[in-house]
Amino acid sequence: DIQMTQSPSSLSASVGDRVTITCRASQAMSNSLAWYQQKPGKVPQVLIYAASTLRSGVPSRFSGSGSGTDFTLTISSLQPEDVATYYCQKYDDDPLTFGGGTKVEIK
Amino acid sequence: QVTLKESGPVLVKPTETLTLTCTVSGFSFSNARVGVSWIRQPPGKALEWLAHIFSSDRKCYSTSLKSRLTISKDTSKSQVVLTMNNMDPVDTATYYCARIQEGYSSNAFDIWGQGTMVTVSS
């Protein structure tokens, strides 16, 4: 099975900072990689799919990149409303594994 | 408007079997290439994918929980059912169902249910 490892597990940054979260697959995979945002007490919502496609309505400060085994979610200018836990997920085929999550807080 | 809604018991006893139902609306399994997964989240912990059923009715399961899970679909009722046997307190979690449109234009799990909290306790 392909395992998905996210890093860091948590981070604290200032408003306006550039934030980068990494998701590493244990073996090469397709670009069927999604990033989800889960705010406290809320249902996860997809931000990015196909590794780099921004879902309609998602602020342009979010971006995704990567291929093969290494994928990245970037928030270009962190905003207070971005406080959340972010998860990557491979969704191409069995197993549809999630990463362990990255909790983002404001410093 | 596409919605998914989970239903099932709030409380189950250890060793019992949990049965959860995901009722979908806004689309039909009979004419949409849509898959549905079950995902859970213990309090304060990460999301864990459990099981998935494709539009073709192919099924796949988390390797670690495979022996305890069964997923099925009732197209006429627009429902996806998950059963998990031999429940344990560590299975206490919010259980979500989520849908994915299959194919090249898939945008991952774009619609989720609100989740249903299940507590395992005697």
Q: Write the pLDDT tens digit of every residue in B67-83.
A: 999 999 999 999 999 99
Residues of chain A under the 70 pLDDT cut: none
The answer to whether A95 contacts B110, with C-beta atoms less than 8 Å apart, is no
Residue A55 tokens read as: 């879902």
The answer to whether B108 contacts A89, with C-beta atoms less than 8 Å apart, is yes
Nearest to A95 among B60, B108, B115 (CB): B60
- Spatial distance between the Cα atoms of A75 and A35, rounded to a whole number of angstroms: 12
pLDDT in tens, A29-55: 999 999 999 999 999 999 999 999 999
Q: How far is B63 from chain A (nearest CA, A)?
A: 8
Residues A64/A9, Cβ–Cβ less than 8 Å: no
B109 and A46 within 8 Å at the Cβ level: the answer is: yes
CA distance B111 to chain A (A): 8
